[in-house]
């Protein structure tokens, strides 16, 4: 049962789904005239508790196999760490950290090519089952599951979303395409990319987008694409990922050093 305490703890508190509505007249941390206090990367609660360790695959063989199949060099875990770093806020750190770690688990080969479900939905189910199997309470598992299911509802304008779900959407879209980058300061972005290098994340994630679209043209990722998208048509989403002006400078630096995604 969803308790009143857990509504607040796991941030089932509602916020507008549309970021333009949510952020209207709100202060920002970046831009020419920042009006929000900056924070340091190492002030964040990078939790070291059993459930988090197991979710990283450090103590659970099954989870370890799953994460190793995501992309070479732990790219998705680094993307999750950057999303975590971009989203300091008043929410349960365990719930949000788990959202970040698991939100792309559905793109692992063992899931992406073996289910007809969209990767967000399959990944959300995998995360929920994992959390419950490893002692997490149902309200925690459900909060993570719902946030992951909805983390690419980018074009939904009406209605509400949970606070933790909105934070996950904003953080991942900042890292993927640079949208809403004025919410965070440049020093924090730079510190985060140093701590969790992108390793040509844009190229790798764009490849995942094309792979899912080719496997299941009905997938949720197709909401970014032209009506009736099929193989041979360029992907709008993959283009936006590869043309991420915010992060291109860091990817370019890695290219000069010969860093590759796989």
Both structure tokens of 48? 């070291």
pLDDT for 30 equals 57
pLDDT for 72 equals 42
pLDDT for 64 equals 44
Longest dimension (CA), the chain: 53
Both structure tokens of 82? 């950057």
The stretch 62-74 carries a mean pLDDT of 44
Q: What pTM value is reported for the model?
A: 0.82
Res. 56: pLDDT tops 50: yes
The stretch 254-261 carries a mean pLDDT of 54
Model pLDDT for residues 160-210, shown as the tens digit of each residue: 999 899 999 999 999 999 988 888 888 888 888 888 888 888 998 999 999
What's the CA gap between 124 and 190, in Å, rounded? 30
Residue found by looking up tokens 């941390």 in the block: 29
Res. 154: pLDDT tops 60: yes
What's the CA gap between 234 and 94, in Å, rounded? 38
Q: Is the four-CA dihedral 184, 190, 194, 199 of positive or negative sign?
A: positive
**Nearest CA to 106 among 167, 150, 148, 52?**
148
């Amino acid at each position: 049962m969803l308790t009143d305490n857990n509504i607040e703890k796991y941030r089932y508190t509602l916020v507008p789904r549309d970021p333009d509505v949510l952020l209207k007249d709100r202060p920002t941390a970046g831009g020419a005239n920042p009006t929000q206090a900056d924070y340091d990367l190492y002030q964040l609660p990078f939790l070291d508790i059993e459930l988090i360790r197991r979710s990283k695959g450090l103590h659970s063989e099954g989870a370890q196999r799953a994460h190793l199949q995501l992309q070479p060099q732990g790219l998705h875990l680094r993307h999750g760490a950057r999303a975590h770093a971009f989203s300091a806020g008043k929410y349960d750190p365990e719930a949000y950290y788990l959202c970040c770690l698991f939100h792309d688990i559905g793109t692992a080969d063992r899931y992406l090519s073996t289910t007809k479900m969209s990767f967000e939905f399959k990944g959300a189910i995998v995360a929920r089952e994992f959390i419950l199997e490893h002692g997490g309470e149902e309200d925690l598992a459900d909060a993570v599951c719902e946030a992951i299911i909805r983390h690419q509802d980018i074009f939904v304008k009406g209605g509400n979303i949970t606070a933790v779900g909105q934070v996950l959407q904003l953080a991942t879209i900042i890292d993927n395409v640079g949208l809403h980058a004025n919410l965070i300061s440049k020093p924090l972005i730079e510190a985060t990319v140093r701590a969790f290098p992108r390793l040509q994340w844009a190229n790798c994630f764009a490849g995942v987008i094309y792979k899912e679209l080719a496997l299941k043209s009905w997938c949720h990722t197709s909401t970014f694409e032209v009506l009736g998208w099929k193989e041979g048509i360029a992907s709008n989403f993959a283009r936006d990922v590869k043309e991420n002006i915010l992060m291109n400078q860091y990817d370019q630096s890695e290219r000069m050093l010969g860093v590759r995604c796989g």
